């Protein structure tokens, strides 16, 4: 059965979700069972974009049947527990892809409005959205707060999703007078707060324990770069810098690091 969801404000986002394969599609697959490669190629061509979750429990796709008008995906797309977080230009969507949702119940609204603006004078980055085993996490560097939403308490109706806990983000006092820009992103259970001052300081927080674990210092800075780490959580990459997550030391600061980030970005997140 197909369900179509839509929202129209400044941008339009329409998502088509199919929970089962139509009989016609099943017949097509059956008729071409002797040519599996043909079916595989046909399926590949129908997919426009694949969302691979860093949490390893979800993968989602959209194709030409999904209509996205005046909508541009940016860094920050997150998928977990079949809940998809998408950022557009000055817009954020939180979409529940679970099969128990009806037409008007897929778009979730958080109690704390998600900050997502884009201008050249912006001091604070957009809010970051991530997931813990039992919670959705919203990080606001503008307010320096971490909001926790219990997944089992997400509303079925269109009412606001209430947060269950708020934690303050504490940065070292030595950075108070140096802050020019504050950015953040979440990678699995780690929050990375990027403080741009005389130098760039990356603060690593453990979202499970809600404490500051480590600092990384570099001269490099990019407003659009995200911090990523490998599966074993031994290496951290930011811009063209590679750090050791064991001791915070800078391992490499060359263009090779930038190449490493772009080439292995997906494998680092898996």
- For 66, 107, 140, 191, 192, the CA distances from 207, given in Å and listed in that order, are 34, 25, 14, 6, 10
Quick one: pLDDT at residue 4? Answer: 42
Would 210 be classed as within a structural domain? Answer: yes
Between 115 and 261, name the one with better pLDDT.
115
Would 135 be classed as within a structural domain? Answer: no
Can you say whether residue 100 is alpha, beta or left, with left for phi > 0 and alpha for psi between -120 and 50 degrees?
A: alpha
Would 86 be classed as within a structural domain? Answer: no
219-249: pLDDT as tens digits: 988 877 889 998 889 999 998 899 999 999 9
Would 72 be classed as within a structural domain? Answer: no
Region 186-202 average pLDDT: 91
Region 200-223 average pLDDT: 93
| Residue written as token pair 């796709």 | 61
Helix, strand or coil for residue 246?
coil
Question: Which of 46-55, 148-157, 216-225, 255-264 is predicted with the least confidence, judged by mean pLDDT?
Answer: 255-264
Region 3-27 average pLDDT: 49
Structural domain including 210 reads 171-270
Q: Can you tell me the distance from the alpha carbon of 73 to that of 91, in angstroms, rounded to the nearest whole number?
A: 10
Instruction: Give yes or no for a contact between 165 and 132, defined as CB atoms under 8 angstroms apart.
Output: no
Quick one: pLDDT at residue 143? Answer: 92
What is the number of domains present in the chain?
1
Would 212 be classed as within a structural domain? Answer: yes
Instruction: Give yes or no for a contact between 129 and 136, defined as CB atoms under 8 angstroms apart.
Output: yes
Would 213 be classed as within a structural domain? Answer: yes
Quick one: pLDDT at residue 264? Answer: 41
Q: Does the pLDDT value for residue 47 go beyond 70?
A: no
pLDDT confidence band for 55 (50 / 70 / 90): low
Q: Pick from 160, 139, 156, 159: which is nearest to 148 by CA? A: 139
Q: Does the pLDDT value for residue 99 go beyond 80?
A: no
Would 184 be classed as within a structural domain? Answer: yes
Q: Does the pLDDT value for residue 64 go beyond 80?
A: no
Region 86-92 average pLDDT: 81
Would 193 be classed as within a structural domain? Answer: yes
Q: Pick from 94, 96, 64, 57: which is nearest to 77 by CA? A: 94
Between 166 and 121, name the one with better pLDDT.
166
pLDDT confidence band for 36 (50 / 70 / 90): low
Q: Does the pLDDT value for residue 139 go beyond 80?
A: yes
121-138: pLDDT as tens digits: 677 888 999 999 999 999
Between 21 and 85, name the one with better pLDDT.
85
CB atoms under 10 Å from CB of 113, counted, come to 12
Quick one: pLDDT at residue 201? Answer: 93
């Amino acid at each position: 059965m197909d369900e179509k969801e839509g929202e129209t404000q400044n941008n339009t986002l329409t998502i088509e979700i199919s929970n089962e394969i139509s009989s016609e599609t099943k017949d097509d697959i059956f008729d071409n069972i002797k040519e599996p490669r043909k079916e595989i190629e046909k399926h590949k061509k129908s997919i426009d974009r694949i969302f691979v979750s860093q949490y390893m429990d979800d993968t989602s796709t959209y194709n030409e049947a999904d209509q996205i008008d005046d909508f541009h995906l940016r860094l920050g797309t997150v998928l977990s527990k079949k809940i998809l977080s998408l950022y557009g230009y000055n817009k954020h969507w939180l979409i529940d892809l679970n099969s128990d949702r009806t037409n008007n119940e897929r778009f979730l609204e958080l109690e704390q409005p998600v900050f997502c603006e884009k201008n050249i004078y912006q001091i604070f980055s957009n809010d970051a959205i991530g997931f813990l085993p039992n919670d959705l996490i919203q990080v606001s560097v503008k307010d320096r707060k971490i909001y926790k939403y219990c997944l089992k308490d997400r509303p079925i109706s269109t009412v606001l999703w209430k947060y269950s806990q708020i934690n303050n983000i504490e940065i070292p006092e030595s950075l108070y007078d140096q802050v020019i820009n504050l950015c953040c992103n979440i990678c699995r259970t780690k929050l990375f707060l990027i403080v741009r001052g005389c130098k760039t300081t990356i603060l690593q927080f453990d979202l499970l324990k809600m404490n500051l674990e480590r600092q990384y210092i570099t001269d490099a800075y990019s407003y659009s770069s995200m911090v990523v780490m490998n599966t074993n959580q031994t290496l951290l990459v930011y811009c063209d810098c590679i750090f050791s997550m064991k001791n915070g030391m800078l391992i490499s600061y060359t263009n090779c690091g930038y190449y490493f980030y772009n080439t292995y970005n997906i494998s680092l997140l898996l």
